[in-house]
Structure 1
Amino acid sequence: MDLNFIKNACFVKGNRLPFWVYLCSFLLKHTLVLKTLEEFFVAFSDAAWGMPLLVLLMGGGLYFMLYSGFLPFRYLRHTINVLRGRYDDPNDPGDINHYEALSATLAATVGMGNISGVAVAIAIGGPGVLFWMWVSAFVGMATKFFTCTLAVMYRGRDSVGHLEGGPMYVIETGLGKKWKPLAVVFAIAGMFGTLPIFQANQLTQVIREVFLVPNGFTTADLFYTNLIIGLGLVFITSLVIFGGIQRIGHVAGKMVPSMVILYMLAVFYIMFVNYTAIPAAFALIFKDAFTAQTVLGGAVGAIIIAGARRAAFSNEAGIGTASMMHGAAKTDEPIREGLVAMLGPFIDTIIVCTLTGLAIIITGTWQTSDASGVTLTATAFNNAMPGFGSYVLLVCVLIFAFTSLFSYSYYGTKCFSYLFGAKYKHLYNYFYVVTIVFGAMATITAVIALIDGLFAIMAIPTMVSALLLSPKVMAAARDYFKRMKEFKKMEGQKV
């Protein structure tokens, strides 16, 4: 195959595939191109995820938790009331309500990172990685409270005057115009860091290995099987994302609860079947977290970084993507949205990631299988539920991955709009769906490394701005809860 063949193929009668499909095929078909890209992305990711970023994310999260006096946990009951819509006002500024904002955010975070991301983490760093994911999620709850409160507190307007939220607007509006270069850095990294390549890669892998291959529905060339799946994903994703945030929020609100419940029931069954192995699994997690002897030869610092990377990819606390979604919430009370946002890391990492980790550990799959990514999780499901376990996971993966594919497009569109103007933002979605094909055909190592590196770049502007503006958040929190106490007293008097 050469470029002339690719060019000519576009004009064959009845051939409706566009030129970019053939160009991607040519580039990705050649091992040298793939190897060079993979090595570059891995080097970029390793350089970005050093100790300074770990201190910024986890140290910053610990600072937020202590500075707020563990506020995310003290007002959990009030948070649930906000989420239930008790304080919703349809006339408030914004595009979606609190529930839809959280659902859309979870649609992005509760995705392939929870199924294949955890599997990758355990394969690389051992069971102890799960402990450091818990630590990251714990402090991440406070980080989400601060960053998402700021996303509403310092909303800006795009080039057509529409109200927008996100780290780039927080930086420019909250810190001032002189900080705009930092906002631009976030927006550039955000355009590429929120591409759907990881979701497409793992969704393609599970469809191919769980459904197509066992049933003989594959082409002779594995490469073209991936290409066909990728094009199918493009079609389905396009039906939703070109409808805008309202359609994304509506779809997410319907799909997120069902996908979490289905996945929880499946893992609870695995735990029930292997209940005798549960105590030993938790003991192994805690022991390995501080020894890391199983995989990394005692490199505890490396396992902490591995846990932080996977937690950041999973719940996005401190990365800034969730801030863009929560910044679109219908509210004029920033603290309320911050409270709702803090539930994200708990649901995403403490609950869903833990379930995945336990399924892999208690079945012993992490030691007995050479599989990677989503295939490792599928093997664990099949070991516990022979004959149908992998199909149960396939259903979960389809929902998880598609909701992530839908939501991530919104993040990239916001970044593109900030840089080039809102009237051109629709162009980003065309670029977005094209990269689905790239993700479907690329290697998982290259895909994870690229996204990890870009997430690291996004975290720097997000955390720096949140730390500098944290006194503003606490001042707003004191004022808000003072007013809420007075409101409750008035309600009591009326009763």
Structure 2
Amino acid sequence: MEQLNQFISDFASYAWGLPLLILLIGGGLYLLILSRFLPFRLFGHALSVLRGKYDNPDDPGEITHFQALTTALSSTIGMGNIAGVAVAISIGGPGAVFWMWVSAIIGMSTKFFTAALAIMYRGKDSQGNLQGGPMYVIVEGLGKHWKPLAVFFSFCGMVGALPVFNVNQLTQAINDILLQPNGVEVNTTSNLVIGGVLVFFTALVIIGGLNRISKTASKLVPAMVLLYFVMVLSILILNASEVPKYFSLIFTEAFTAHHYTGDTFLGGVVGGLILLGIRRGAFSNEAGIGTAPMAHGATKTSQPVREGLVAMLGPFIDTIIVCTLTALAILVTGVWKTTDANGVSLTALAFEQTFASTGKYMLLCCIIVFSVSSLFSYSYYGTKCLSFLIGAKNKNYYNIVYILSIIMGATTSLAMMINLIDGFFALMAFPTMISTLILAPKVVKQIKSYTRTLKTSSDK
């Protein structure tokens, strides 16, 4: 098991090397400049689209703009925001948050382009249903001779979509917050029971397909974000005197890395901190990875730019808002300096320190909703990947593997699970970003046409 742990760790480190950093950050910056900073210019318009102002029920697709965003957010707003941020701070200190912000700002542009392309180059599965996602963008946009790249993405996507990290952290949270403090012995049997309960509820929703997943997500995601927002805001208000100090520390520590304890990168600790922040940011908002375009590609719309604008709100909500709130809660309470706890356990300590015994139970409620909603969305991504590889009629075979992996996630170590998903997320980014960068000029033409239409309608 130690050898397997080391192998998966080395695999993740190799996958998240300099080439991927250049592709995600350099590629994202190129897209941001190419679009003339469109995510910021049309931010207000994006909110109008999200509210349904431009919805047309006759447009092709399965779900609304709002359902597409909440389906995508239900996979990104989850353990990456609670456990992932805690992992980043425990290794990198406050400075890691700054590089997560950088990842998110650049990621807004990347999300815009990948989602717009998912509408522009929708394809049909073996049953003739309209589908979107990087694998269809590659085949429909670049041509059949690029299909090996689409196959590679789909294979990596099936592994990357497995819910092992979410389940692992949910199991740890239930053990640390609920079972152990109440005298319940935690062992493999208790973990299997937790896994079994998750299997039941997950199967109940995912068997219903995308419509049931999106409807469930559109109800759960806004509620869980609001609840979590209120709780973390309470922590910050109660520790208001500490907030300015740690907010400024996020900026200063980003370039000094005094609290960084991880491996160096490009010969220095600052390089290691940058890579940590980018990696955790990508895990949190998934910009450039290719998962969200699979949800946005199913939207009822004939306007690629419109869906791109909705998609770009994802990294802003996920990382700039939710991750920052989590980070500040951990920092202002001081728990990151007084314990060796990692992942969700560190966040739980911040809540417990502020709200006493009730705090950890409040957090557990959020964790359960975050994790379970993520389980629903990732299953959809995995079935789409398998459908592309071996036909739509066989896609539900993935759900069998998916459900079995819930048991694996509940009974294995955090390090192994986080490195496994990190590694395959990295591999998914290569075909997603390569195809996006090649096809980006076609999106720019759509942007010019769309903005002209907007200007004409506003002049009237």
TM-score of Structure 1 vs Structure 2, range by shorter chain:
over 0.9
Instruction: Output the amino acid matched with 1:95.
Output: E
- Match status 1:235 vs 2:205: no
Q: Is the 8 A contact 1:296 1:302 kept in 2?
A: no
Q: Give the C-alpha shift of residue 56 in structure 1.
A: 0.5
Give the counterpart of 2:142 among 154, 165, 175: 175
Q: Is the 8 A contact 2:260 2:273 kept in 1?
A: no
Q: Give the C-alpha shift of residue 434 in structure 1.
A: 0.6
Correspondences of 1:146-225 after superposition (within 5 Å): 146-218=113-185, 222-225=187-190
Counterpart-to-counterpart distance in 1, 2:23 and 2:221: 31
Counterpart-to-counterpart distance in 2, 1:279 and 1:479: 44
Residue identity over aligned pairs, in percent, reads 57
Q: Which residue of 1 aligns with 2:265?
A: none
Instruction: Output the amino acid matched with 1:225.
Output: S
Q: Give the C-alpha shift of residue 78 in structure 1.
A: 1.4
- Match status 1:348 vs 2:318: yes
Instruction: Output the amino acid matched with 1:81.
Output: S
Counterpart-to-counterpart distance in 2, 1:379 and 1:206: 11
Q: Give the C-alpha shift of residue 293 in structure 1.
A: 1.7
Q: Which residue of 2 aligns with 1:25?
A: none
Alpha carbon RMSD of aligned pairs, Å?
A: 1.0
Correspondences of 1:434-453 after superposition (within 5 Å): 434-453=404-423
Counterpart-to-counterpart distance in 2, 1:317 and 1:295: 25
Instruction: Tell me how many residue pairs correspond in the alignment.
Output: 455
Correspondences of 1:32-431 after superposition (within 5 Å): 34-218=1-185, 222-296=187-261, 299-431=269-401
- 1:207-258: CA deviation from partner (whole Å, max 9, x where unpaired): 1110111122335xx1221111111111111110110000000000001111
Instruction: Output the amino acid matched with 2:138.
Output: I
The residue matched to 2:181 in structure 1 has which SS? coil
Normalising by the residue count of structure 2, what TM-score does the alignment of the two structures yield? 0.98
Unaligned runs of 5+ in 1: 1-33, 491-495
Instruction: Output the amino acid matched with 2:444.
Output: M
Q: Which shifted more, 206-215 or 446-455?
A: 206-215
Normalising by the residue count of structure 1, what TM-score does the alignment of the two structures yield? 0.91
- 1:465-492: CA deviation from partner (whole Å, max 9, x where unpaired): 10000000000111111112222334xx
Q: Which shifted more, 391-400 or 277-286?
A: 277-286
Unaligned runs of 5+ in 2: 263-267
Q: Give the C-alpha shift of residue 296 in structure 1.
A: 3.3
- 1:34-61: CA deviation from partner (whole Å, max 9, x where unpaired): 3232111101001101111101101111
Q: Is the 8 A contact 2:70 2:218 kept in 1?
A: yes
Q: Give the C-alpha shift of residue 94 in structure 1.
A: 0.5
Counterpart-to-counterpart distance in 1, 2:67 and 2:230: 23
Q: Is the 8 A contact 2:69 2:311 kept in 1?
A: yes
Counterpart-to-counterpart distance in 1, 2:37 and 2:16: 27
Q: Give the C-alpha shift of residue 295 in structure 1.
A: 2.5
Counterpart-to-counterpart distance in 1, 2:131 and 2:296: 10
Instruction: Output the amino acid matched with 2:228.
Output: Y
Instruction: Output the amino acid matched with 2:308.
Output: G
- 1:172-207: CA deviation from partner (whole Å, max 9, x where unpaired): 100111111111110000000010001100011111
